A and B are shown apart, each in its own frame.
Chain A
């Protein structure tokens, strides 16, 4: 088969036209948004994107699903390196210092209205990171969350238990709620083996993963104490099972066990609030995480970021969407339909005034817990420590009950290696 020169030119021409169409649909500037949601969160996000696209005629946001947080991040970094990044995306908070330092994120301070955005401090860049305000604003809070404790009201009443306030109380509650195999197995407590929850316990035990000097300590004695407590729940007291699976598979397994009555208490993200409430056949009560020497929770979830290396017109279109998303109506819709925290003070005040929190006290617990939120260190190695070093080591230590001291010493040594 031969292809004539004319057909070839026609083909190339139509491809070029298609490429142009991507940049402008019906005279509207296209901005590509890479997102990482499935299920209900995806539905809510796409609803909001469609609403934005219908409401105005200048910008057109084209959402593209990219897998879970980690897959999406891998693709984003590869796309940046290859010189074909999307206009904007949302990324895990832990990776922002690294991306910002690498100079691939667009500073947003000078975009119209950026300085007046009324974010909840603990959830925004300036409060979610130590010295976050000393860096250019490169990230806008989007789906933000904290770990929270989920309990069953019926079970807590039956066993006359109150929400555990300390680790000791958590252990005794888990012991009371545990039911042996003969009586229909039920674990007293279940939490995914993930650094987010370990980090909460490190903070509660009075430690920090990275010292202000930049030295990586992984919590020192507090890190060991947190890991030992976890190991004791699994191996010594046998009241907790480590949910199987890696990354979010383990989170799903923990949720499933809680919903199926196979776990009395669970810790998971506030992001699952709507999902758990909707699917539970029992009354769900959320409580703040217990404390050890103090109360502490890390914040989690993602921030919107805009990529530097994209045409200015795309950035302007993306900004119009981001600003619109930060308006109270959208913030409220996103938060109330998903369970993520509302990211602006105005949205929270409106919800409070409308009586929303009286009807949904679980949501209020999530917000109130922000009082104990500890900021992340602004460290470029934060994500690598989480993903490459701590998470696999924690899994190993919990499953095989190996020495917590050795585990964290090895993790510290690994963190000091070249990347």
Chain B
């Protein structure tokens, strides 16, 4: 075990990260917790209201609705990105120019900015002026529920998010696939294992750490969803696409409800912390 020359050396070396953590993570969370006990609009003096903000977001159902919506959205994004990413990785894990081209094309969506992706899909899916709406109009279908109906808007936004991040999931799974020794798969094949058996008993168990990683990152991305909501729906229709981060943004910046926004932020932190804990626990148990 290495020993520091001076007792203060580890402290100095950790200082930059510690300072960044305090300034950008710990202090803001502390401030959010403090402000969540006030009613404040930034312009008039804050009024202490105790736990009224928490009670209000809980009693009005806002917290439950936003959490439910975000979890539903996350479930769609994580499942979609993982399954399509894995399927593409299995299909494209071959040599050849054509496969390289397709891999690059699928991955390219990941490097495009979120706003550009949202604008592109809005151009396609806009209920009035979008390519889909115009095409359907020509085909004699008067209207289709996509971005303009509370029941369909979230799956559509999840679809756009999956489209954007699937390339990343695919690359991760490809890396995992290429790390599996060929001999193991060949041995299984010689033992008479079919494609499905090879996948179920050899490939998938060996890909599990990659799967956990892709699942965690997709979960984080889906919980942070903001740009697609801001550009494509602004949280509507009827708040049906108001996800957690957008709800916080709208509370503080559009409605200047600092107390409510802070209470939502604290709740968001607790939900994410719980999910991460559950995920790490599940991963450790499997490991």
Contact = CB atoms under 8 A, between A and B. Distances in A.
A244 B233 CA distance: 10
Given A247-B234, A388-B255, A396-B238, A80 B127 contact: no
A419 B263 CA distance: 11
Residue among A400, A410, A414, A417 with max Cβ neighbours from chain B (10 Å): A417
Interface stretch (A70-78, A115-123, A213-221, A319-327): A70-78
A384 interface: yes
A336 B255 CA distance: 34
A418 interface: yes
Q: How many of chain B's residues touch chain A, expressed as a range? A: 20 to 34
A253 B255 CA distance: 25
B255 to A, nearest CB: 5
Interface in A363-419: 384, 387-388, 392, 395-396, 399-400, 410, 413-414, 417-419
A414 B43 contact: no
A138 to B, nearest CB: 14
Interface stretch (B66-74, B83-91, B145-153, B199-207): B145-153
A244 B47 CA distance: 39
- The number of chain A residues touching the other chain, given as a range, is 20 to 34
A135 interface: no
B42 A81 contact: yes
B253 A78 contact: yes
Nearest to A185: B142
B44 interface: yes
A246 B257 contact: no
Nearest to A241: B143
Given A387-B255, A400-B238, A244 B147 contact: yes
Given A102-B43, A418-B259, A419-B39, A246 B56 contact: no
Contact of B233 (A246, A400, A417): A246
A418 B53 contact: yes
Main SS class of interface, A: helix
A241 B148 CA distance: 11
A414 B61 CA distance: 10
Nearest to A81: B42
A395 B142 CA distance: 21
B179 interface: no
A384 B254 CA distance: 10
B222 interface: no
A245 interface: yes
A77 B128 contact: no
A77 B42 CA distance: 8
B260 interface: yes
B43 A418 contact: no
A53 interface: no
A66 interface: no
Among B47, B128, B238, B253, max chain A CB count under 10 A is at B238
B239 A418 contact: no
B237 A399 contact: yes
Contact of B257 (A101, A253, A256, A419): A419
A396 B39 CA distance: 27
Contact of B255 (A102, A245, A384): A384
A46 interface: no
A395 B236 CA distance: 9
Interface in B41-65: 41-44, 47, 49, 52-53, 56, 60
Contacts of B253: 74, 78
B56 A77 contact: no
A155 interface: no
A6 interface: no
Interface string B147-184: 11110000000000000000000000000000000000
Interface string A243-271: 01111010001001000000000000000
Contacts of B96: none
Nearest to B56: A417
Contact of B56 (A247, A249, A418): A418
Contacts of B132: none
A246 B253 CA distance: 17
14 contacts: A77-B41, A77-B256, A102-B41, A181-B142, A244-B147, A244-B148, A246-B235, A246-B236, A384-B257, A392-B238, A395-B236, A396-B238, A399-B238, A418-B260
Q: 7 tightest A-B contacts by CB?
A: A396-B238, A244-B148, A81-B42, A244-B127, A102-B43, A246-B236, A418-B39
